[in-house]
Structure formats: C-alpha cells, structure tokens
C-alpha cells in the first residue's frame, strides 16, 4: 500500500464527506436533524469514514478510477448506512417510514461521491 496515497486520499475524502454532510444536512435537509450537533464529532466521523474507504481502496481493492470508486462507494455506503440506520431504528419507538429512507438515500449518495473522489486521488498517485 502506498502510504502517501492512503493519507492524501483519506484527508481529501474527509473534507468531501464533511462538505457533503454540511450541504445535505446543514443546507438542504435541515429538518432531518433539527437539534444542534457537535461539529467535532461530525468531523471525526467523517475522518474515520473516509479513511475506511481509503484503506479498502488502497490495500485490498486497488480502486483508482472515479467511476469504479463511485460504484464501490455506493454499495459500501449503502450497506453501512442501512446497518447503522437499522440499529438506530431499533432504539426508536417510531415506525419504519420515509424518515428512515431519506437519510439512507442521502448518506448513500454522499458515500458514492466521496468514494469516487478518493479513488480519483489514489489514481493521481499511481505512476
């Protein structure tokens, strides 16, 4: 594994993830999470999420093209998002409805875009 590629793609992916979260949850869909959030924890979540993708792409999958990263990001993001949201739903008294589907769609789209960007950055370091 190329350490420089891993670090740079993880950092860029963290920034993309954070900015997409700000766009979707801070600007477009503010009613999904109306209470004040701790930005430090959100940033740390974005960092670890992006570095998970960077590790998978760099070490095991050798993904270094935007389109392939987008597809892998979609499927990995969908599986992780569904898992997380089902666990959160288990501790909720609310019935499963559209409030479950919208965050899954947003997080899956964000993971796909972030995955594509991470793959593109990895591709830049291939020589």
**pLDDT 10s digits, 18-34:** 999 999 999 999 988 87
Q: How confident is the model at residue 127 (pLDDT cuts 50, 70, 90)?
A: low
* pTM of the complete model: 0.93
What residues contact 16, with CB distance under 8 A and at least 6 apart? Answer: 50, 113, 114, 117, 118
Using CA of residue 27, residue 31, residue 37, residue 43, what is the dihedral sign? negative
């Amino acid at each position: 594994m190329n350490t420089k590629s891993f670090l740079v793609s993880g950092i860029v992916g963290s920034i993309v993830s954070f900015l997409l979260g700000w766009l979707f949850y801070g600007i477009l869909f503010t009613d999904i999470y109306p209470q004040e959030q701790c930005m430090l924890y959100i940033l740390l979540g974005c960092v670890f999420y992006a570095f998970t993708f960077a590790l998978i792409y760099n070490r095991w999958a050798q993904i270094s093209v935007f389109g392939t990263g987008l597809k892998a990001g979609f499927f990995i993001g969908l599986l992780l998002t569904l898992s997380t949201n089902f666990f959160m739903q288990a501790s909720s008294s609310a019935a499963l409805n559209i409030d479950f589907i919208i965050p899954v769609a947003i997080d899956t789209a964000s993971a796909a875009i972030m995955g594509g960007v991470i793959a593109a950055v990895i591709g830049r370091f291939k020589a």
